Amino acid sequence: MINNICVAGAGTMGSGIALCAAQNGFEVILFDLNSQVMEKAINSIEKNLTSLLVKNKISLEEKQSIFNRIKFTSDIQDCRASLIIEAIVEKITIKTELFNQLAMINTAETIFASNTSSLSINELQKNIPNPERVVGMHFFNPAQIMKLVEVVKANKTDDKIIDKIAAVCKKLQKIPVVCIDAPGFIVNRVARHYYLEAMKLVENGIATIETVDTIMEASGFKMGPFKLMDLIGNDINLSVTQSLYDAFNHETRFQPSDLQIKKVKEGELGRKSGKGFYEY
């Protein structure tokens, strides 16, 4: 039975996943190498819990016990758990290296889940011991709120692992949807054009950022594409576009936009850096 989870990476996604897991009764280890990011994650988790307390959704005792269920660490030796969910940088070599380090200090039964938005789980499985326990677990941002989790089955993933991950998702009060490993899985493949076409409209001088966001929100989308890109992080969003562009043999429909490349070069990553398409 899975009752403890190690979340590797305490950035935008990792901090939300750790909070969600602690809120739903799991013992959590939150690991990041960057002390500034960790500080930010601690503050953001504390702020989220305070907001729930103020709204009378949790008691002071619950707030304390949820917070106490999370062990914050920068020491990889602490990362021993029945399930590891990685939410680190979107680079397959770095994710592979981390899983291999974690494989050395965990048992062969420990499940390795990747929150990757666009990398191939089949590729990830290739260089990790016991690949049958490697699975995709793709949360959406903000992870403590959004209900969907794409559970990604790669060629070697054991069906029993898929069942266990689906059960964990339910305990997290999420809706698991099992997908076959394919570029962008389902949501990111469909959503690519929500971002890319919006950026083309702006690049071609047809509409402003604000107009596109206003119209899309008025037509029923919860967030306009530019606000959503700022929430996701322009660096992360560009990596996803680039992965799909590569996976589809450079089909122009997936070509990264000059606008997003410029944003990343200038460090305008979105909410996390204080400026993206908008200022925060």
Ligand X SMILES: NC(=O)c1ccc[n+]([C@@H]2O[C@H](COP(=O)([O-])OP(=O)(O)OC[C@H]3O[C@@H](n4cnc5c(N)ncnc54)[C@H](O)[C@@H]3O)[C@@H](O)[C@H]2O)c1
Residues that bind ligand X (CB under 6 A): 8-14, 31-34, 37, 87-90, 94, 98, 115-117, 138-139, 141, 232-233, 236, 272
Of 139 and 245, CB closest to ligand X: 139
β-pair partners for 113:
85, 135
Query: Which residue from 74, 86, 68, 67 is spatially nearest to 7, judged by alpha carbons?
Result: 86
Identify which of 118, 87, 84 has the alpha carbon closest to the alpha carbon of residue 100.
84
Catalytic residue numbers?
Answer: 117, 138, 150, 188
b/e code 120-142 from CB counts within 10 Å (16+ = b): bbbebbeebebbbbbbbbbbbbb
C-beta neighbour count of 249 within 10 angstroms: 7
Shortest CB 97 distance to ligand X, Å: 7
Nearest-approach distance from CB 259 to ligand X, in angstroms:
18
Q: Give min distance, CB of 144 to ligand X, in A.
A: 13
How buried is residue 112: exposed, middle or buried, by Cβ count under 10 Å (0-12/13-18/19+)? Answer: buried
Residue nearest to ligand X (CB): 11
Minimum distance of ligand X from residue 4's CB (angstroms)? 18
Q: Which is nearer to ligand X, 227 or 272 (CB)?
A: 272
Of 6 and 216, nearer to ligand X (C-beta) is 6
CB-wise, 18 or 87, nearer to ligand X?
87
The whole-angstrom separation of Cα 17 and Cα 140 is 9
